[in-house]
Structure 1
């Protein structure tokens, strides 16, 4: 029996296998509302053979979107659109679907990546951004406003409101985004947090606001549904977040009642050199946190392409689950193909069973073309 294809309990949620599809921004929303593109994208992922699908980073307030084309969950129209999509998906897939709630902080107010390479939005679409400190992400970017107490209170309430909307919309899981150089990581990293008050300096102080947000989300999300967090294991730059700091943050979240820790890295410093072409380049961060917090469910991500590689990550104890992203954009049936590679049943939708390896003589020829 493949470990990758064995069931896994994530808090109150039991997944059919240990493959998660990580959040992937589509930059295709209108005023934060999902569009037909999202319906085909998420519907396809729900049939991919993965055990869990997580919707892209979704802004908890308008100012928290990465770009002006990001999804949001701060009003009734956005909530209703997500609810309708989930109802539709439930007619053909029982794959659990979660949503990642996020605030981009100083990395907000940008264009989609195919417009001026995703740089700062023009005057007609830009808005004022905020962060831990008034330090821009790049020299030619907007300078954010350092959040004061009232601003932090507003952000906390925005996360709480979005969490409640996610429950009403019917999501099975919420993932708190505390990675990739967005607002919560901006507080965590000394590279972006230059504060001299109780929210800056020591790790304890830098964790204070992210943990306040995390506790508020924990209190707002029902214990009958799963709750996780995505966090950075490294900034890939001297003086930034370290695996030891990530482990301390992860331990605090685990003690708070978070059901999983999803390890990634980077995004806080524009000049960081990240070896993203190396298979499994972020797995060591998951392994470090798993070693430090052995009772936690840990998810590894980062250039995981080969099913045997995914199997080995779990078999070696480096992580309990793996997450894939661009891998499944390239091959929307990666989960089914991984099952075949590891000697497991495909479990195709009944409408597609005629393409199962055991029933379609052309399977070998079709896969050989890859």
Structure 2
């Protein structure tokens, strides 16, 4: 029996997790034409043996123009699906960690250069760029290309694209789907009055701005096997005057819960270029706390959660039900091992690594992730 909240089991829908540590989706910008590469096998394979409770594949585009950059992963054709299957088969041979996927569309923030090459948007006439789409013809920055406002046919194509990508995720036997509604990407662009200037049924009032993201949730939920979780990642605030805020996030969370959302991952920011973020440890936890207080579905907290006691305190105080780590896991892929050692808990490790157990932590490893 676990003595800590962090290493206690938890369920999301019908999915049971051995602990409450989630590896958040992290773009690697290392795909070719949307297809995963050997880098993804190395990257995800390492994290799949980290001892976390759940692993999330990076933001995966449902259309080619929905990729954040030309190096992003997609799940929009057979070649993308085959490449992802190869990676998943390699990982599953050595790890039984549940793996989910984040599906999304970058909208007006698509067609970007790789971050280590500057990350700015590439114009449509660039060899690695393309024309972007958005709720309204409002660019992320004045220097960016003006996106094409989606018409009714464009919205219908996106609904189908999300449904098709979800069907591929189901064929790949992924454990869960997370819909990306955060960080200034397409669904967040519909939610925020700063980016959504529409005058039809998808713009104006809060109800209207939520309409398309909720339609996408319903589309994905219908396309994914019953009992397997469908969750949503949201930005709780734009950190900008007149933008999306925590009160609207709570209303959106209620609407998602009514439609069968299994969990909500609460982040913030990414929509406004002039955002002013009060950044620091736990800086997003108050948003998770507000959503948790207003809903019944599991809430996942994220954002500069790097210390073991910090993560445990967030759970013990009831601010969230699970903890997501991202950059901390890149810096220390054995973060869950080290957290378990710190608390005197037990964590799964591959048989090949059991001999690495430090002598002062005699019960750290249970070997459940051993070779199949």
**CA–CA separation in structure 2 for the residues paired with 1:255 and 1:329:** 35
**CA–CA separation in structure 2 for the residues paired with 1:229 and 1:305:** 23
1:339 offset after TM fit, Å? 0.7
Aligned to 2:326: 325
**CA–CA separation in structure 2 for the residues paired with 1:285 and 1:244:** 10
Aligned to 1:368: none
**CA–CA separation in structure 2 for the residues paired with 1:234 and 1:341:** 34
1:89 offset after TM fit, Å? 1.2
2:137 is aligned, of 129, 134, 137, to 134
1:160 offset after TM fit, Å? 0.3
Is the Cα contact below 8 Å between 1:80 and 1:169 reproduced in 2? Answer: no
Unmatched 5+ stretches in structure 1: 364-370
1:117 offset after TM fit, Å? 3.4
1:308 offset after TM fit, Å? 0.6
Runs of 4+ in 1 over 3 A off after TM superposition: 358-361
Aligned to 1:291: 293
- Name the SS of the counterpart of 1:117 in structure 2: coil
**CA–CA separation in structure 2 for the residues paired with 1:44 and 1:118:** 30
**CA–CA separation in structure 1 for the residues paired with 2:118 and 2:191:** 29
- Name the SS of the counterpart of 1:114 in structure 2: helix
Is the Cα contact below 8 Å between 2:46 and 2:333 reproduced in 1? Answer: yes
Aligned to 1:354: 355
Aligned to 2:39: 37
Task: Please say which of residues 81-90 and 120-129 is displaced more in the overlay.
Answer: 120-129
User: What's the CA shift string for 1:274-328, capped at 9, x where partnerless?
Assistant: 233x1111111110000111x1100000000001110010100000001000000
* Matched positions, count: 360
2:227 is aligned, of 224, 228, 236, to 224
Is the Cα contact below 8 Å between 2:109 and 2:121 reproduced in 1? Answer: no
Unmatched 5+ stretches in structure 2: 365-372
**CA–CA separation in structure 2 for the residues paired with 1:241 and 1:282:** 15
1:341 offset after TM fit, Å? 1.1
2:174 is aligned, of 168, 171, 174, to 171
Aligned to 2:158: 155
Matches within 5 A, 1:1-370: 1-120=3-122, 123-276=126-279, 278-293=280-295, 295-358=296-359
**CA–CA separation in structure 1 for the residues paired with 2:358 and 2:282:** 28
Is the Cα contact below 8 Å between 1:314 and 1:321 reproduced in 2? Answer: yes
**CA–CA separation in structure 1 for the residues paired with 2:158 and 2:135:** 12
**CA–CA separation in structure 1 for the residues paired with 2:333 and 2:292:** 29
The two structures, once aligned, show a CA RMSD in angstroms of 1.4
Q: TM-score, normalised by structure 1?
A: 0.95
**CA–CA separation in structure 1 for the residues paired with 2:120 and 2:350:** 37
1:359 offset after TM fit, Å? 6.7
User: What's the CA shift string for 1:6-41, capped at 9, x where partnerless?
Assistant: 000010100000000100000000000000100000
**CA–CA separation in structure 1 for the residues paired with 2:156 and 2:213:** 12
Is the Cα contact below 8 Å between 1:346 and 1:356 reproduced in 2? Answer: no
**CA–CA separation in structure 2 for the residues paired with 1:4 and 1:118:** 38
**CA–CA separation in structure 1 for the residues paired with 2:205 and 2:322:** 31
- Name the SS of the counterpart of 1:100 in structure 2: strand
**CA–CA separation in structure 1 for the residues paired with 2:183 and 2:238:** 9
User: What's the CA shift string for 1:36-90, capped at 9, x where partnerless?
Assistant: 1000000000011110000000100001000011000010111111112212211
1:360 offset after TM fit, Å? 7.9
User: What's the CA shift string for 1:122-176, capped at 9, x where partnerless?
Assistant: 6212111111110000010010011110000001100000000011112111100
**CA–CA separation in structure 2 for the residues paired with 1:217 and 1:35:** 26
Q: TM-score, normalised by structure 2?
A: 0.94
- Name the SS of the counterpart of 2:167 in structure 1: helix
Is the Cα contact below 8 Å between 1:353 and 1:359 reproduced in 2? Answer: no
**CA–CA separation in structure 2 for the residues paired with 1:182 and 1:107:** 6
